[in-house]
Amino acid sequence: MKKIIRKFWGVGIVLILLSTLFVGAIPQAAGGNFALTNSFAQPGIFPTDTTLAPAAGFGVLDVAQSGSTIYITGDAAGVEYLYKSADGGVTWTQTARGAVGFNRGLPCDAVVGGGGSTWGLVAVAPDDPNIVVVVNTENLTVGDGVWLSTTGGALFQNLPGITSNITTVAISPLMGPFRYIIVGGSQNASAPNSNLGYLVQWTMGSLTPAWAAPTNFGLLGAEGVHALAYSPNFLADQCLLVVTENVGQSAFPTTDGNIALRVYRYDIADWDHNVDATFPRYLVRSTDNQLVMGSADIVLDANFYMGDEASQIGFIGANITGNVTAAGEQLGGVFRVAAGPIVAGNVTLTNIDAGNPINSVAWDGTNLMAAVQGVNAAGLVVRRSATALSPFPLFLTNTGLKTPGTGNATLVLFNASSGVGLAFSRGQNSAICRTTDYGKSFNGYALSNSNFATIHSIWTSADAATKYVTVGDGVGADLNVWRQSGFTWERVAILAGATAQTWIVEADAENSASVYIARMGATTMYKSTDSGNTVWSIRTCPNNIQDIVVQNADTIYVGVAGQPWIRKATGTLTTWSLPMAVGFAAGGGNVFSVTLLADDTLLVGGTTGGVAYTTDGGATWASLPNIGGNVVLAASGLATGDSVYSVGDALVAGFNFLGRWTFGVNTVVWTGGQPIAAGGVKGVALSNGVLYVFDSAAAGTNAGMMYRILRPTVDFTNNLTTGTQDIIPPFAVAVLAHASATDVNILHATAAGTTSSIWVLGQGAIDSLDNYVDYLTSPSNAPAPVYPLVGNKISINSINGAVAGFVFKWTSPPVVVIPGPQLYNYNLEVYLDEAGLVPIAGLPGLAQLAAASPAPDISVASGVINGGAPATGLTGAAGIAVPGETYYWRVRVDLGAPVESYWSPMQTFTIEQLVAVVPIISSPENGTSVSTATPAFSWSPIAGATSYSFELYDTADVDNNDPIYSVITTSAGAQVPTPLTRGGQYFWRVKALAPAEGEWSTLANFIVAEIPAEQVPPVIITTAPQPTINVTVPPAPQATTTVVTVPPAVTEEVNPTYIWAIIIIGAVLVIAVIVLIVRTRRSV
């Protein structure tokens, strides 16, 4: 029976499936997934909110602090910026930009007609961080110099009337209803008054505020103003400190050539000795008018109080040149604010760090930082002292490679609440830098002004939590070392003057704090044991360096440039082994790459195809056959069953070559994957068992192409051919080529569980470090079937025989948030066997179903997926419609959409067996007889049935005899074509034949009647009247006539003799009854 059913269901199955089969993926909550992101590219733009930067190089012009709130002004490519930090410099936001619509009311080129603007100065109220002033130091002739915000920089208003050159600005604490904004500089006037001092203030809280000189301003003299500071205890002492430079005007001949600290007291409206007898206090005195004040900065102790000499703690940093003892000598340095020795009747300030041009000073109550103006060969210098108040203070400088930049005009401050110091600068490699050791070392972390022209090398920890990158800036030829910890990038080293040099970075896989940088083709190395945070120590290799790997903090291996040697360093890298020959096969070349697989276990690639390995730290070596070109290697291990994968950049038969060597399998030659089209293959990585290969050609069809092989131990020979299903599409929209001949392996892999991150160097006008995250590396990441599962049965309509519609469902992999929703294509395969060897007829092995995730279940109707995407490969796929059949199915993410995943576990389901309805006998009924010899047969029709099988027998043994008549009919009835024998007994049955063959009905029997008897007419009996008797009785009733009609026999013929006997007996009985009635009525 099952064979018959299956054969029948092979007809018309296409139409059935197209109306009932559905497939769908159950969307999963959004999260990270297969993604390509650029995480390290334009200067200062990294994945953290602390690193906001304009497109061009940014330079800081000024900085102001109020508690934990810090404002900085700066510019980039002629555009002005205002940044703000509300947490002591941890994070920064852009408050205003010099462009219409973003300038918050501040001047910009489009606002100040053609004159331009420079937001050169900034100040903030010490007791209210929302009150901030920005000074436009350019084009002051239009009177737009000072701009005030009382909303934390959200909106500014002009304080008009300033047309002089402003060099400094300060804001007082609130004193009663008033607050003072004071600016100083020199007059913007014609000679001989062009340099006369200028000091005016704006009184907030006044009914008619305007710029005005403080009372008795004339007592200041012809002093150009360079620095201003209100006393931290202004409410008590009402003092303002001013650093001035006499410009030699004849009206004030007694102060010619002097640079002094002056004091003004508001409550007495007077200066200097009327406030304190020791004022003015002189930094430098000269009589030849040759002093030049380059810059000055004042920092006062938080407990500074003018009324107490012991509390007059503060420092001035100054850049002063002159001819006091020699022409052009540097007379600046760090000066204590407190009164110093009296020289020639004048009180002087003590210069505690003489001979250094200081641009900025910072003080936290114990530690002093002083930023030196300009740069030396090693970069910007910050001097520091923890003994600045002692009689003999000691100053040190920041350590090597830990400079804040290589530009100029460094500004420093301390975050009083955290103890962290900050440094700001402008020019090459400037950045916002922080120091946690009071100026000993600086790490740049935001607003970097570096040109990332060439990324040399990358290193990543196994969990990708820590990364190091070496970058050549391409302008000043300086080397930057960047480190990422978590989500934050920091510049942890600057090596100034690294012209035309390439530097490798490597770290200990077990302890990323041990990190090394080494110069290729030279002997110089640097080592840090604290992640590059504070100290780099210089080391020297006995030979020129080609490549290095780090085993631990005290053990490294170096591949020697130009030689087939490895050298091992131990201890503090002062003990070096003798050169160890790696033992390439003949013609393998010199060392090109070194790969560390485990402690003392190395793989070495040669410059002309050589491959060698050691498992004992280089004591012994073994080689594999040469493969060609500069060889880069990856491996799962070196034991039996492990595989080594090699790529070379030399052409073999016109192609670069990828090979696999499996220990215990390969013995003579490499298993060769399909060669990569001609290019520069320099990247190979193995992570979570998935192999990645990068074509780093500068141009061509495959430029910037990365290849991914999900199961390289199985699927190998058909990979890496352009256009085949196993090739990943171009790695990014823009070509990420990297053709530098000095790179060793530009591909690095990390893994966190079953998630792999692949890092690749991308070359362009600005190089980039690009990250490819692969979540589809494991069977556990494959789509998981949801329905139908093992044990599920698909119902079937017992009336019309149609399989009920159902939906294939599976979970979708996670969805990327950036760069956007991920588009997945799926392969769905259905088989008749669990091994997946017998696909069902009409259903291709790869039914490609495009689905954007997240999305609702995907319905397939008439071969089209909802949304209009054509469902390729679904035509004729209706084989999943055979009742009683068991099917097996699995699903995966399709190749290239975005990449292939593992297949899901095979699931099974069954189509229910069809049970047909049995017809019910109608006529002739079972056990009856029929009068006609050609009876008609009928039965109850079955809904949906299109044909029936009818059989008639003359015996009840229907299994061993043939029917005397049978027919297939489309109606619920049949009639025998020839007469049956009368008196004979017959048997009949019927069953549904189509669309589903059912069971036979009950076997019914009937008899065909003999020839029927003639009809007998009715018998009439007449009774004569009784004789008259003279008895007085009622008259007897008149005799009646009784007619008895005997119906003719129907079912059988009866003998007429019996009929007459019955009639006579009946008549006698009637007469007897009449007689009895009459007799009983006689009178007595």
The per-residue DSSP string of 872-919 comes to TT-TT-TTTT-TT-EEEEEEEEPTTSS---PPPPPEEEEEPPP-PPPP
Sign of CA dihedral 954, 959, 961, 962: positive
Name the band, by pLDDT with cuts 50, 70 and 90, for residue 496.
confident
**pLDDT computed for residue 624 by the predictor:** 95
CA torsion sign for 829, 835, 841, 846 is positive
pLDDT digits (tens, 9 = 90+) for 944-960: 678 899 999 999 999 99
Query: Percent of the chain, pLDDT > 70?
Result: 71
Residue range 1044-1051: mean pLDDT, rounded: 39
DSSP reduced 3-state for 310 = helix
Which pLDDT score, from 0 to 100, does residue 566 have? 97
619 pLDDT above the threshold of 90: yes
Mean pLDDT along residues 820-842: 72
Average of per-residue pLDDT across 274-293: 83
Sign of the Cα pseudo-torsion (133, 134, 138, 141, in order): negative
Q: What is the pLDDT of residues 34-58, one digit of tens each?
A: 333 434 433 333 333 334 444 456 7
CB atoms within 10 A of CB 995: 18
**pLDDT tier, 553 (very low <50, low <70, confident <90, very high otherwise):** confident
430 vs 446: CA distance, rounded Å = 9
pLDDT at 142: 60
Alpha helices (H) in 608-741, listed in sequence order:
none
Joined together, the tokens standing for residue 489 give 């990038």
Which pLDDT belongs to residue 245? Answer: 85
**pLDDT tens digits, residue range 195-232?**
567 889 999 999 999 998 887 766 566 578 899 999 99
Q: Are 612 and 622 in contact (CB under 8 A)?
A: yes
Q: Does residue 743 carry a pLDDT above 50?
A: yes
Residue with the larger pLDDT of the pair 109 and 891: 891
Tell whether the torsion through CA atoms of 805, 806, 807 and 808 is positive or negative: negative
- pLDDT at position 532 is 95
Helix runs in 378-515, H state only: none
Count of Cβ atoms closer than 10 Å to residue 892 Cβ? 22
Region 706-735: what's the mean pLDDT?
56
On the question of pLDDT at 669 being above 80, the answer is yes
DSSP secondary structure code for residue 627 in this structure = -
* Listed residue (572, 480, 579, 592) closest to 528, CA to CA: 572
pLDDT at 817: 39
Query: Which stretch, 242-256, 796-810, 1046-1060, has highest mean pLDDT?
Result: 796-810
Higher per-residue confidence, 160 vs 857: 160
What's the pLDDT score for residue 708? 82
Question: Per-residue pLDDT for 833 more than 70?
Answer: yes
CA angle 815, 868, 794 (to 5 degrees): 80
pLDDT of 1066 reads 76
Please determine, for residue 415, whether its predicted confidence score (pLDDT) is greater than 60.
yes
Question: CA-based diameter of the chain, in Å?
Answer: 200
HSE at residue 476, side-chain half, CA atoms within 13 A, is: 22
Separation between Cα atoms, residue 359 and residue 919, nearest integer Å: 108
pLDDT band at 681 (very low <50, low <70, confident <90, very high): low
More confident residue, 757 or 441: 441
Listed range (14-28, 242-256, 410-424) with the worst mean pLDDT: 14-28
532/562 Cα distance (integer angstroms): 30
Digit-coded pLDDT (tens) for 970-980: 999 999 999 99
Tell me the mean pLDDT in the region 517-538. Answer: 94
Exposure string of 407-446, with b = 16+ CB inside 10 Å and e = fewer, is bbbbbbbbbeeeebbbbbbbbbbbbbbbbebbbbbbbbbb
With 70 as the cut, is the pLDDT of residue 177 above it?
yes
Mean pLDDT of 302-314: 96
Distances in whole angstroms, Cα of residue 115 to Cα of each of 111, 121, 136, 138: 9, 18, 11, 8
- List 281's β-bridge partners, or say none: 261
**In terms of pTM, does the model score above 0.95?**
no
Q: Which of 815, 694, 710 is nearest to 754 (CA)?
A: 710
| 1004-1017 pLDDT, tens digit each | 999 999 876 555 55
Tell me the two tokens of residue 174: 């609130």
Residue 274 pLDDT grade (very low, low, confident, very high; cuts 50, 70, 90): very high
- What string of H, E and C letters represents the secondary structure of 808-819? EEEECCCCCCCC
Question: Which amino acid type is present at position 150?
Answer: T
At residue 109 the predicted structure's pLDDT band, cuts being 50, 70 and 90, is low
C-alpha 228/C-alpha 234 separation (Å) is 13
* 111-138 mean pLDDT: 83
Does residue 821 register a pLDDT over 50?
Answer: no
Kindly report the three-state secondary structure assignment for every residue of 368-395.
EEEEECCCECCECCEEEECCCCCCCCCC
Which of 47-51, 179-183, 216-220, 264-268 is the least confident region?
47-51
Radius of gyration (C-alpha) of the chain in whole angstroms: 52
Average the pLDDT over each of 84-98, 607-621, 879-893, 1006-1020 and give the range with the smallest value: 1006-1020
User: Which H or E run includes 1060?
Assistant: helix 1056-1080
Each residue of 711-727: b (16+ CB within 10 Å) or e? ebbeebeebbbeeeebb
445-456 per-position pLDDT tens digit: 888 877 666 788
User: Strand, coil or helix: what is 706?
Assistant: strand
Q: Is the peptide bond before 129 cis (omega within 30 degrees of 0)?
A: no
Residue 46 vs residue 517, higher pLDDT: 517
Q: For residue 634, what is the enclosing H or E element?
A: strand 631-635
pLDDT exceeding 90 applies to what percent of the chain? 41
The pLDDT assigned to 38 comes to 39
Most confidently modeled range among 40-44, 109-113, 133-137, 679-683: 133-137
Q: Is 884 left (phi over 0), alpha (psi -120 to 50) or beta?
A: left
Q: What is the mean pLDDT of the chain?
A: 77
24-33, 472-481, 772-781, 998-1007: range with lowest mean pLDDT: 24-33
308's tokens = 């107490």
pLDDT at 671: 84
Residue pair 853/29 in contact by the 8 Å Cβ criterion? no
Higher pLDDT, 915 or 691: 691
**Residue 533: pLDDT above 90?**
yes
Which residues, at least 6 apart from 26, have a Cβ–Cβ distance to it below 8 Å?
786, 809, 810, 811, 812, 857
For the ranges 303-312, 693-702, 802-811, the lowest mean pLDDT is seen at 693-702
Asked whether residue 706 carries a pLDDT value surpassing 60, the answer given is yes
Return the C-alpha torsion angle 714, 719, 724, 726, nearest 10: 60
pLDDT at 105 over 50: yes
Buried b (16+ CB within 10 A) or exposed e, 28-51: beeeebbbbebbbbbbbbbbbebb
Contact between 560 and 544 (Cβ < 8 Å): yes
- The residue type found at 104 is R
Of how many residues is the chain composed? 1084
Full set of structural domains in the chain with CATH: 2-32+780-911 (no CATH), 528-778 (2.140.10.20), 921-1008 (2.60.40.10), 1019-1080 (no CATH)
What is the H or E stretch that residue 520 is in? none
List, in order, residues 6 or more apart from 705 with CB less than 8 Å away. Answer: 679, 694, 695, 727, 728, 730, 731
